[in-house]
Chain A
Amino acid sequence: MSETVTALGGAHYAGYATITEQPARGMITLRGNLAEVAVKNAATGVAGVDMPDLRECHIVDQRGIAWMSPDELLVMVPHPEVASAVSTIQQTLSGLHSLVVDVSDARALFRIEGSGAREVLAKLCPVDLSPAAFGPGQIRRTRLGHVSAAFWMVDDSAFELVCFRSVAQYAFDLLKTAAEPGGEVGVF
């Protein structure tokens, strides 16, 4: 198998928050009736985390499940496992109306870390990012500058953010500019 190359080759920037493009992660879009037991089992079976509820994201290291819409989940597994995970899910869901697609190569994944991480995202997204309104365990799909993105918190001071691979450079540049030293606002 050919070597996986990420959009920006692991680009990194250290400002008052650090922005790092993450290595490839296996990402699978799973669409179907989320109330169906088989769909829940299929997702939790390969991800090994609990089924998320509305606007939740459960993630442990590389594995996780994010609630994307009322009929869509994003299932995350380590990149080398993605092909086997897709076939496992497809087998579990055979006969059920569902869609399972490997979207790993369609995405770019960033980590935004540090005490200023909330502020960097708050500059770019029309979202209330105060600790009272948003914390670990939640996911928010929104607008990052001019492009769509989704993010969740892996702990109290680190976010993971996904966007389309085609806009990875734009997203990185936005985050980088927002994290430049001297740009601190100090709201949170």
Chain B
Amino acid sequence: MLILTCPYCGVSGEETEFHGGGEAHLKRFGPGASEADFESYLFHRENPKGVHFERWRHVNGCGKWFIAARDTATLQVFGTYPAQTTEPPQEIRDKITAARPGWRWRDFA
């Protein structure tokens, strides 16, 4: 079971209070983009065993979207942060590096 902390209201709740929203930090390719970019935006997703970034919504609480950095194999949560960002904050990256030296996820490390 995952215990997530909502960065907006500070509630630490178990995962049934939240709802997963798929992979985080997707870059949108819209009208005018190449077919390949659009295809990857729509369909290509990471499926890592290890460090992963996901969108979550505090659906039964304050209703806000946030991003969680966690390990898909051990369910360790490295941290959560507000969704108004295009890349993980340095503080979160440092925590991941401390626990999983040499980690890599898409373009982030």
Cross-chain contact of B14 among A70, A126, A149 (Cβ < 8 A): A126
Contact with A along B58-82 (1 / 0, CB 8 A): 0111111000000000000000000
Q: Report A41-80 residues with CB < 8 Å from chain B CB.
A: 54-55, 68-70, 72
Q: How far is the CB of A94 from chain B (nearest CB, A)?
A: 26
Contact with A along B9-21 (1 / 0, CB 8 A): 1110110110000
Q: Indicate if B8 sits at the interface (CB-CB under 8 A).
A: yes
Cross-chain contact of A54 among B10, B13, B16 (Cβ < 8 A): B10
CA distance A141 to B57 in the complex (A): 13
Q: Nearest B residue to A67 by beta-carbon distance?
A: B9
Say whether A142 contacts B60, CB under 8 Å.
yes
CA distance A149 to B61 in the complex (A): 8
Say whether A69 contacts B64, CB under 8 Å.
yes
CA distance A106 to B73 in the complex (A): 42
Across the interface, which residues of B come within 8 angstroms of A142, CB to CB? Answer: 11, 13, 17, 60-61
Say whether A140 contacts B62, CB under 8 Å.
no
Give the contact-size bracket for chain B: 10 to 19
CA distance A72 to B58 in the complex (A): 14
CA distance A141 to B9 in the complex (A): 10
CA distance A188 to B53 in the complex (A): 38
Contact with B along A117-147 (1 / 0, CB 8 A): 0000000001100000000000011110000
Q: Could you say which of A54, A143, A148 has the most chain B C-beta atoms within 10 Å of its C-beta?
A: A143
Q: How many residues of A contact B (CB 8 A)?
A: 14
**Given A68-B62, A142-B61, A143-B60; A126-B9 close (CB under 8 Å):** no
Across the interface, which residues of A come within 8 angstroms of B11, CB to CB? Answer: 55, 140, 142
Across the interface, which residues of A come within 8 angstroms of B13, CB to CB? Answer: 126-127, 142
Across the interface, which residues of B come within 8 angstroms of A143, CB to CB? Answer: 16-17, 60
CA distance A145 to B30 in the complex (A): 40
Q: Report A138-180 residues with CB < 8 Å from chain B CB.
A: 140-143, 148-149
- Interfacial residues, chain B to chain A (CB-CB below 8 A): 8-11, 13-14, 16-17, 59-64
Top 8 closest pairs, chain A to chain B, by CB: A69-B62, A143-B60, A141-B61, A148-B60, A126-B14, A70-B8, A143-B17, A142-B60
13 CB-based A-B contacts, threshold 8 Å? A54-B10, A55-B9, A55-B10, A55-B11, A69-B63, A69-B64, A70-B9, A70-B64, A126-B14, A140-B11, A141-B60, A142-B11, A143-B17
